[in-house]
Amino acid sequence: GESVGLHLPTLSVQEGDNSIINCAYSNSASDYFIWYKQESGKGPQFIIDIRSNMDKRQGQRVTVLLNKTVKHLSLQIAATQPGDSAVYFCAENPPGGFKTIFGAGTRLFVKA
């Protein structure tokens, strides 16, 4: 079935370094992509999104890159901080319907 996958289930980075979390999506018709952050005991929290007519979008310390040619999505976190430690999910919305497809998640550890 359709799925959103992640290349790395865990990622450990040094505080202050940049982090890159990757994601592969399978539905070439998906036109909206979202990154979520989930901290322990909480629900997923929206971080940043991007529409298929864009290839890059920047937020505060975060950047999402979309490569439609290879169906790849990435989340870059600049100057990673201990508070960034969490599980990160990518998600895609195929056009129409209500089926947001979530990846399995990547756990980010930030070492002080």
Partner 1 sequence: DAGITQSPRHKVTETGTPVTLRCHQTENHRYMYWYRQDPGHGLRLIHYSYGVKDTDKGEVSDGYSVSRSKTEDFLLTLESATSSQTSVYFCAISAPDRDNSPLHFGNGTRLTVT
Work out how close the CB of 98 gets to partner 1 at its nearest, in angstroms, rounded to a whole number.
5
Q: Work out which of 60, 70, 83, 98 binds partner 1, going by CB under 8 A.
A: 98
Task: Pick from 12, 45, 58, 67 the residue near partner 1 by CB under 8 A.
Answer: 45
* Nearest-angstrom CA–CA distance, 109 and 87: 9
**Ramachandran category for residue 66: left, alpha or beta (phi over 0 → left; psi -120 to 50 → alpha):** beta
Spacing of C-alpha 77 from chain mean position: 10
Among 10, 18, 55, 99, binds partner 1 (CB under 8 A): 99
Q: Per the structure block, which two tokens stand in for 48?
A: 């940043």
Which phi-psi region, left, alpha or beta, contains residue 33 (left: φ > 0; alpha: ψ -120 to 50)? beta
Determine if 107 is a binding residue for partner 1 (CB under 8 A): no
Answer for which of 89, 92, 108, 110 binds partner 1 (CB under 8 A) is: 89
18 touching partner 1, by CB under 8 A = no
CB of 14 to partner 1, least distance (A): 27
Burial of 27 (0-12, 13-18, 19+ CB in 10 A): middle
Q: Does 104 bind partner 1 (CB under 8 A)?
A: yes
From the list 19, 80, 85, 93, which residue makes contact with partner 1 (rule: CB under 8 A)? 93
